[in-house]
Amino acid sequence: MAAVNESYDKTGDGDLEMNNLDRILKNKKTVYSYEEALDLTGHGKYNVGLLIACFVLITAMGIDIYGVGIIVTAATCDLRMRLEDIGVLSSMPFAGIIVMSYPWGYLSDTRGRKLALMWGMGGSFIAALLSSLAPNWQVLAALRFVSSAMSSVAESATYALLGECCVAGVRARYMLLVTSALMITPTIYYVWAYLIMKLDFSVPFLFVDYRPWRLLTLVMAIPLGLGAVMLYFFRESPKFLANVGKNEEAVEILGKIYAKNGGEGDFPVKELFLEDHTKEEVGKFSLHSLYTQIAPLFKPPLLKSTFILYYLTFVVYIANNSFAIILPTIFNVFFTSYATSAVDAGFCDLFAIANTTTAVTPTVTDTVTESIPVCKDNINDFTILAGCVHGLSFFVLNAVISQCATRRKWLTIAILGIAAVAAIAVNNIHQPIAGLALFYVYLTTAMVFGVVSSYFVDLFPTSYRGMVACLGLMVGRLSAFSGTNVVTRSMSDHCPATMYGAAGLVISGAVAAAFLPSDSIKIS
């Protein structure tokens, strides 16, 4: 205290300076920056529980969006869909995401991460549930559009909520672990499809015949509702609350996280301040509010980060999702053609010789009495097996990669570089199974999703994280929407050109990743 008084005497600023010193000494151990306060809460049960809840949310979203591929395959016969109908239906999830990306970003940043997530996932659950009763493919497409539009909130708000409630030491790793949920979703819905589609029933219900694919659609909707219920037991992001001026509520929630994580005694934080000093209008909708949410993203100093991350998002989504959404069809075509192909046929050769309508042609059997066409909603067992292997292997790989979260920049460059080499090699290996394995390697571009999401949290202020992630999602899904239609039409007749083009695109992404901040720079 003597040192303090000595310092005061040198200033000669009178009573005002002494009052300031008294205030500083009094508040020295009660006023903290947000990151300091979050560090005091530690890492424990609350964070692990929130990680599990977010994992379920991302899994539910993945099943809702990408699972439409298996629903299309199973319902093709019953709904009498043509190849072009399948293309339209398969692209509906991307269309829904494109429409709702901006609104979800705005709501997440101005009304709250948790609130947006609960409304979005709850609405998606209802729409997905109703889609199991769709009388035709047009109604099914409309309901899947609504469902995906609502569930798309998870891919931005989930990362923001988790990232703002976890200490910096585990933040990047948690982001990658949550992203691994997207990798395991194919295994989940492929297994469900295998078990349910083995059933054979047709029960009149309301205005439709309730068949196995409808039961599968209903089961796939359950995680959406489960995620919304789980989120009820967790709190809003304290950083969001502090950012909108609700400091007392933010401190209260941090204190509860501290207690849940096993903290002893009273939580020492009484007041917060944010390092980025940014606040947004809350509860008011206006063009000015919308402008203030998006304009800073495209001005220095955020412009460079926005451009790099959006380009990476564009590359990864068009390179990966364009194939992922029609993966069941790709598998069906591959295994159907492989059974009758020449020994030296390559991966692309199988698509060149395949009649893609074979995979979607209704099976017709003759009854004993008359030759009456009977619709069979069968899915090739090898397609199920390949989908499960794809999901499980990618889940494990992403979990392993998450342990290298401190080397994100070079990890991104390495993944994209290896994927590009694999895409080129697919066209030059004249052995189908080896070609399929290389195609799997190419699909590892999906591992970059989590890395990009972690950069969205680290490189942008709290006020813009939801918006920048949602707009990035819109960019990605718009590219995937276009890419899906291109890939659907080109794999059969122009497979080599498609893979070479994909390789070139992925290489450009690796070049863009080279301009990301150095891994040695602390940016969280």
For 29-48, write each residue's pLDDT tens digit.
678 888 889 999 999 999 99
**CB burial class (10 A; 0-12, 13-18, 19+) of residue 199?**
exposed
Residues 6+ apart with CB under 8 A from 291: none
pLDDT at 226: 96
Q: Which residues pair with 31 in a beta bridge?
A: 271
Per-domain residue ranges for the chain? 32-275+293-362+378-513
Higher pLDDT pick, 306 / 359: 306
**Residue 188 confidence (pLDDT) above 60:** yes
**Is residue 189 classed as helix, strand or coil in its secondary structure?**
helix
What pLDDT score does 327 carry? 77
- Rg of the Cα atoms in the chain: 26
How many CB atoms within 10 Å of residue 433?
A: 11
Please state, for a pLDDT cut of 70, what percent of the chain lies above it. 81
Q: Which pLDDT score is estimated for 83?
A: 63
Over residues 222-245, mean pLDDT: 92
Residue 208 pLDDT exceeds 80: yes
Mean predicted confidence (pLDDT) in 342-347:
66
Three-state SS letters, 145-175: HHHHHHHCCHHHHHHHHHHHHCCHHHHHHHH
Q: Provide the residue type at 223 as one letter.
A: P
Does the structure show a pLDDT above 90 at 331? no
Please tell me the predicted confidence (pLDDT) of residue 429: 84
Write down the pLDDT at residue 72: 86
**Predicted pLDDT at 360:** 43
- Lowest mean pLDDT segment, chosen from 95-104, 105-114, 326-335, 406-415: 326-335
**Which stretches of 402-519 are DSSP H helices?**
408-426, 432-442, 448-459, 462-490, 495-513
Q: What is the pLDDT of residue 405?
A: 65
Which pLDDT score, from 0 to 100, does residue 187 have? 86
Confidence bin at 202 (pLDDT 50/70/90): confident
Q: Residues 393-409: pLDDT tens digits?
A: 887 887 787 777 678 89
Using 50, 70 and 90 to split pLDDT, how confident is the model at 263?
confident
Look at residue 375 and tell me whether its pLDDT is greater than 60.
Answer: no
Q: Which residue has the higher pLDDT, 90 or 142?
A: 142
Residue 496 pLDDT greater than 70, yes or no: yes
The whole-number pLDDT of residue 523 equals: 44
Q: Letter for the amino acid at 103?
A: P
Structure tokens that stand for 392 in this block? 């499980």
Q: Is the peptide bond before 212 cis (omega within 30 degrees of 0)?
A: no
Residue 7 has pLDDT above 60, yes or no: no
The pLDDT value recorded for residue 108 is 85
Show the CA angle centred on residue 214, arms to residues 213 and 218, nearest 5°.
Answer: 115
pLDDT level of residue 18 (50, 70, 90 thresholds): very low
| Both tokens assigned to 176 | 């990658």
Task: Read off the pLDDT band of 26 (50, 70, 90).
Answer: very low
Query: Over 90: is that where the pLDDT of 486 sits?
Result: no
Tell me if 487 sits within 8 A of 169, measured CB to CB.
no
For range 239-243, the mean pLDDT: 89
Taking 70 as the threshold, does the pLDDT of residue 521 lie above it?
no
Q: How confident is the model at residue 249 (pLDDT cuts 50, 70, 90)?
A: very high
> Is 419's pLDDT higher than 80?
yes
The yes-or-no verdict on residue 373 having pLDDT over 50 is no
Q: Which of the four pLDDT bands, split at 50, 70 and 90, describes residue 365?
A: very low
* List of residues 6+ apart from 103 with CB closer than 8 A: none
Q: Under a CB-based contact definition with an 8 Å cutoff, are residues 161 and 466 in contact? A: no
pLDDT at residue 507, rounded to an integer: 96
Q: What is the pLDDT, as a whole number, of residue 118? A: 94
pLDDT of residue 138: 93
Distance CA 24, CA 31 (A): 9
What are the CA-CA distances from residue 364 to residues 76, 368, 464 (Å)? 13, 13, 55
Tell which wins on pLDDT, 403 or 135. 135
The whole-number pLDDT of residue 356 equals 41
Superfamily of domain 32-275+293-362+378-513: MFS general substrate transporter like domains (1.20.1250.20)
Question: pLDDT tens, 52-86?
Answer: 999 999 999 999 988 988 898 888 888 888 766 77
Residue 42: what residue type? G
User: Predicted confidence band at 97 (pLDDT cuts at 50, 70, 90)?
Assistant: confident
At 204, give phi and psi (nearest 5°).
-60, 125
Q: In angstroms, what CA-CA distances link 177 with 247, 333, 400?
A: 30, 32, 9
Task: Give strand pairing partners of 210.
Answer: 203
> Which residues, 6 or more positions from 256, have their beta carbon under 8 angstroms from its beta carbon?
46, 235
Residue 170's pLDDT band, with cuts at 50, 70 and 90, is confident
Is residue 362's pLDDT more than 50?
A: no
- What is the per-residue DSSP string for 1-57? -HHHHHHHHHH---HHHHHHHHHHHHHTTTEEEHHHHHHHH-SSHHHHHHHHHHHHH
| Per-residue pLDDT tens digits for 463-476 | 777 678 777 777 88
Q: Which two tokens stand for residue 172?
A: 């990047």
CA 333 to chain centre: 27
